[in-house]
Amino acid sequence: MNLIIDVGNTFTKIGVFDTSEIIYKEIVKLEGLIPQIEKVKKKYPLLKNAIISSVSDLPKSSIVHIKALFNTIVVDHLVEMPFTNLYKTPKTLGIDRLALVAAAVDQFPQKNVLVIDAGTCITYDFKNIKEEYLGGAIAPGIRLRYSSLNNFTAKLPLLTLKDPENTIGNSTEEAIHSGVINGILHEINGVIEEYCNIYSDLTVILTGGDAHFLSKRLKNGIFATSNFLLEGLNYILVFNNSR
């Protein structure tokens, strides 16, 4: 059994895998990580291995505590990956993006795959049929776009996620909702179309915190999954422990 810890920009996800099947999942704030892991350890005494992915500031004391409980891999750019990384600046590549590509390799081997992770940022990551990671793109996510309109203008209000009533916003609030949501939908559809022009047999995965909201509004033919990053981390852990 494997313990998967994904420390994101906003929340931390904890998952327990029995081989390749996720049997437990919890989302906590960073300060609640260690108490929750203690509970998980008691609930699943057979847990032996763990992997940590962090794109935020995980305290060293927390890492030390986890390493004392499990055989632990902390993902960095020196950890072996199940694909060839052709990114020109691998040391600047987000750990979460590595995990998403690993999941694509595991679940869609020898296929051209575009993974779209809709969270704080929207990331686009592509691996080809040769299991080569070529790179992708990074764009602001939904909440970043709302907050940017508020922070960098004098009078625009800070709004929260809402489906626009019309394409043509007939008030300032509706215009913001239309601009943010429709802008993102057109962006994602446009990126997919560009990739499809190059790779006609493209598989598209949509994941991340806003995947459920966006998937119902995007074109068909997209696989939406909420656990793709955790599954990728589990595969990295299994891949390294089998070497």
82-103 per-position pLDDT tens digit: 999 999 999 999 999 999 999 9
Q: Is the pLDDT of residue 9 over 80?
A: no
pLDDT at 56 (0 to 100): 81
- 204 alpha carbon, distance to own chain's centre: 14
Band of residue 8 on the pLDDT scale cut at 50, 70, 90: confident
Band of residue 149 on the pLDDT scale cut at 50, 70, 90: very high
Band of residue 109 on the pLDDT scale cut at 50, 70, 90: very high
Is 84-227 CATH 3.30.420.40?
yes
- Count how many Cα atoms sit within 13 Å of the Cα of residue 203 in the half-sphere of its side chain: 17
Report residue 215: phi and psi, to 5°: -60, -35
pLDDT at 178 (0 to 100): 97
CA 168/CA 130 separation, integer angstroms: 44
Q: Closest by alpha carbon to 121, among 98, 94, 146, 139? A: 139
pLDDT at 148 (0 to 100): 98
Overall average pLDDT of the 213-217 stretch: 92
Q: Is the pLDDT of residue 230 over 90?
A: yes
11 a known binding residue?
Answer: yes
180 a known binding residue?
Answer: no
pLDDT at 157 (0 to 100): 97
Active-site residue, selected from the candidate residues 96, 106, 125, 210: 96
At which residue do the structure tokens 């996720």 appear?
22
pLDDT: which is higher, 4 or 221: 4
Same CATH fold assignment for domains 2-74 and 84-227: yes
Overall average pLDDT of the 165-180 stretch: 96
Band of residue 164 on the pLDDT scale cut at 50, 70, 90: very high
Domain residue spans of the chain: 2-74, 84-227
HEC-encoded secondary structure of 93-150: CCHHHHHHHHHHHHHCCCCCEEEEEECCEEEEEEECCCCEEEEEEEEECHHHHHHHHH
pLDDT: which is higher, 48 or 243: 48
18 a known binding residue?
Answer: no
pLDDT at 243 (0 to 100): 79
Q: What dotted CATH number matches 2-74?
A: 3.30.420.40
227 a known binding residue?
Answer: no
Band of residue 66 on the pLDDT scale cut at 50, 70, 90: very high
3-state secondary structure of 198: helix
96: annotated active-site residue: yes
Per-residue model confidence as pLDDT tens digits over 136-145: 999 999 999 9
* pLDDT, averaged across the chain: 95
Overall average pLDDT of the 108-137 stretch: 97
Q: At 51, which amino acid appears?
A: I
Tokens of 127: 């691996």
DSSP for 187-201?
A: HHHHHHHHHHHH-TT
3-state secondary structure of 204: strand
